[in-house]
Amino acid sequence: MEAKYTIQRREIQSALDFPGSVHPVVKRVYQHRKINNINEIENKLDKLHNIKTLSGLSAAVALLAAAVSDDQRILIVGDFDADGATSTALALRALKAMGAKQAGYLVPNRFEFGYGLTPEIVHVALDYQPDILVTVDNGISSIEGVDAAHQHGIKVIITDHHLPGAQLPAADAIVNPNLPNDDFPSKCLAGVGVIFYVMLGLRSALRENGWFARQNIQEPNMAQYLDLVALGTVADVVPLDHNNRILVDQGIKRIRAKQCVPGIIAMLESGKRKPANTVASDLGFAAGPRLNAAGRLEDMSLGIECLLTDDAARAAALAAELNELNRQRREIEQEMQAQAVQIVEQLSAELVQTELPAGLCLFDPRWHQGVVGLVASRIKEKTQRPVIAFAKISETELKGSARSISGLHIRDALDAVATRHPGLIKKFGGHAMAAGLSLPLENFDQFRDAFAQQVGAVLETKPGEAVILTDGELNTSELNAITAEALRRAGPWGQGFPEPLFDGVFNINSKRIVGESHLKLQLAVPESAQIMDAIAFNEDGSGLPESTKQVRVVYHLEINEFRGIRSPQLNVRYIEPLKNP
């Protein structure tokens, strides 16, 4: 079942002449990424795309400016993931700073209402008596929900980044860079990036109509919200194009300086990360999962409140609750993952002479609907196939979370299945690499076969074969803390702008298990006296026979800080034994 890995070195993608001040290793890394303009290595705020190119913005801003000026009730309708939580917190903080006195939020409980602005959540919203609903990180497919709001005389502004369907909801304004004919250059904004731009526009409109002067309100510095933009953008795993890198880099700088909301500091510290040394991966692997845990297991309101409080003690208490939820989430995920592996292994045994289907659909009636996305991601990594994991949300309906691999646009694949088999899928939506859907339980077998057939027809690479792309080998003069620091500063790294990976052959001096499940190594550079510390997280060393003396390693070069001493370390992402020299 395990995927086969092939190590390949990246080819040059950029012919730009980078300045001499750029570290030679960083220059090589940049050359391997599609950088079309020298300005793309400068993450300055004045390089952000022009706000005026975002279609629908002027209509949304006009509605919001009137709502603030007329003291209307504004209700933010969020989503139950980290992008939705940061979007909600940003909208409320910015509205409050601009003088909105009646702004609140409502986030659907995924177990009761599902995703987006549904008619059911509109009914709940009526208790708040809103004049205007503003969706963040959702709404582009909420046709019935918008109609329900209008029936009650409520205006609706949709801010979203998900791909639209054939029909758009009849909202009073829609801001989404992925709308047809939208001229905004970046189609990669996360939901929090979209609402950040909307709030930028609102501040300009209120300034122009003299609102701040009349109310004696100090104009907010919008840069103060970039910590939230950085967290939501990284946690949602959207591609880090230049515009997103600017947003994330500027937000991370604020976090390092502790010029951010106390909740982000508290979540990083609960994940044993030092805010002063924050990099994008800390947001993705420490803060993001803790924030997401609330929406996966309980109610995202806990995470939103953690981002809204300005009291450090309260933020720490809420972060502790999120940390406990994240611990429970890991336990549930591990059990579900083991069950998913058994399903795939059983399927492999049954097929015998043939390979696994090109696309996998997995279902177990015991599975938790808040965790199926993580299970799909783990099995995707193991099999290098697109995976959809399903959970029951009622006796007759399933909810699925899909994760894809390079070469398959998962939302387009679902769209193709829905087109060829009308009525098979109840609803779906998402991105190229991740999507969600629901379907009747009785349709599972038919959908499983139709999905596998569709994936097999369009997948660009042979399923099950994974390629690890590296930036080549580092020589002994480059394996040091100076290089590691230069690589750290050259980010932020993430989806679409991958963190530098290097490969090389090393001799094993020693190995041991630390922290129950991490492989700690001392590696020697062949024909050299240089020794490097290395760690492979969540690796038990079972793939390395005791007789193994030499290994090929794919790694990140990082700085490890222990008892105040900072030293270079290889963070091992892949290791394979070689024949003894």
Q: Can you give the three-state secondary structure of 152-169, one letter per residue?
A: CCCEEEEECCCCCCCCCC
- Asked if pLDDT for residue 199 goes beyond 50, the answer is yes
The tens digit of pLDDT for each residue in 369-405 reads: 989 999 999 899 888 899 999 999 999 999 999 999 8
Over range 149-158, report the average pLDDT: 98
**Residues of the chain with pLDDT > 90: what percent?**
77
User: Which residues have a Cβ under 8 Å from the Cβ of 531 and sit 6 or more positions away?
Assistant: 509, 522, 523, 524, 525
What's the confidence (pLDDT) of residue 368?
A: 92
User: Which residues have a Cβ under 8 Å from the Cβ of 543 and sit 6 or more positions away?
Assistant: 575, 576, 577
**Could you tell me which residues are beta bridge partners of residue 359?**
none
- In the sheet that holds 427-430, the strands lie side by side as 360-363, 387-392, 397-403, 434-440, 427-430
What's the confidence (pLDDT) of residue 1?
A: 47
The answer to whether the CB of 82 falls within 8 A of the CB of 53 is no
- Backbone conformation region of residue 346, classed left if phi is above 0, alpha if psi is from -120 to 50, else beta: alpha
Q: What class has domain 470-578?
A: mainly beta
The tens digit of pLDDT for each residue in 156-192 reads: 999 999 989 889 999 999 999 999 999 999 999 999 9
- Asked if pLDDT for residue 486 goes beyond 70, the answer is yes
- Omega of the bond prior to 108 within 30 degrees of 0, cis? no
Instruction: Characterize 456-494 residue by residue with b for buried, 16 or more Cβ atoms within 10 angstroms of its Cβ, and e for exposed.
Output: eeebeeebbebeeebbbebeeebbbeebbbbbbebbbbb
**CATH T-level assignment (fold) for domain 355-463:** Diaminopimelate Epimerase; Chain A, domain 1 (3.10.310)
What's the confidence (pLDDT) of residue 407?
A: 84
What's the confidence (pLDDT) of residue 581?
A: 64
- Asked if pLDDT for residue 212 goes beyond 70, the answer is yes
The tens digit of pLDDT for each residue in 395-441 reads: 999 999 999 988 889 999 999 999 999 999 998 888 888 899 999 99
**Residues of the chain with pLDDT > 70: what percent?**
97
CA distance 494 to 182: 25
Helix 226-235 and helix 191-208, axial crossing angle in degrees, nearest 10: 150
The answer to whether the CB of 76 falls within 8 A of the CB of 106 is yes
- Report the length, in residues, of the chain: 581
CA distance 12 to 34: 9
What's the confidence (pLDDT) of residue 527?
A: 86
Nearest to 389 by CA among 407, 406, 366, 364: 364
What's the confidence (pLDDT) of residue 5?
A: 79
Region of poorest pLDDT, from 109-113, 200-204, 450-454:
109-113
For the chain, state the CA radius of gyration. 24
The tens digit of pLDDT for each residue in 224-271 reads: 999 999 999 999 989 999 999 999 999 999 999 999 999 999 999 999
pLDDT band at 355 (very low <50, low <70, confident <90, very high): confident
- Asked if pLDDT for residue 477 goes beyond 80, the answer is yes
- Asked if pLDDT for residue 4 goes beyond 60, the answer is yes
What's the confidence (pLDDT) of residue 353?
A: 54
**CATH T-level assignment (fold) for domain 48-324:** inorganic pyrophosphatase (n-terminal core) (3.90.1640)
Which three-class secondary structure string do you get for 90-126?
HHHHHHHHCCCCCEEEECCCCCCCCCCCCHHHHHHHH
**SS3 label, residue 377:** helix
The tens digit of pLDDT for each residue in 274-322 reads: 999 999 999 999 999 999 999 888 889 999 999 999 999 999 999 999 9
What's the confidence (pLDDT) of residue 111?
A: 67
Nearest to 156 by CA among 123, 131, 178: 131
Nearest to 404 by CA among 365, 458, 350, 472: 458
What's the confidence (pLDDT) of residue 3?
A: 58
- Asked if pLDDT for residue 337 goes beyond 80, the answer is yes
Q: Is there a common fold for 48-324 and 470-578?
A: no
Q: Mean pLDDT score of the chain, rounded to an integer? A: 92
**SS3 label, residue 75:** strand
CA distance 180 to 168: 10
Region of poorest pLDDT, from 20-29, 88-97, 226-235, 348-357:
348-357
CA distance 373 to 388: 8
Q: Where are the domains of the chain?
A: 48-324, 355-463, 470-578
DSSP 8-state symbol, 526: T
The answer to whether the CB of 160 falls within 8 A of the CB of 137 is yes
What's the confidence (pLDDT) of residue 108?
A: 79
User: Which residues have a Cβ under 8 Å from the Cβ of 130 and sit 6 or more positions away?
Assistant: 73, 74, 75, 154
Instruction: Characterize 245-269 residue by residue with b for buried, 16 or more Cβ atoms within 10 angstroms of its Cβ, and e for exposed.
Output: bbbbbbbbbbbeeeebbbbbbbbbb
- Asked if pLDDT for residue 508 goes beyond 80, the answer is yes
pLDDT band at 524 (very low <50, low <70, confident <90, very high): very high
Q: Identify residue 378 by its one-letter amino acid code.
A: R
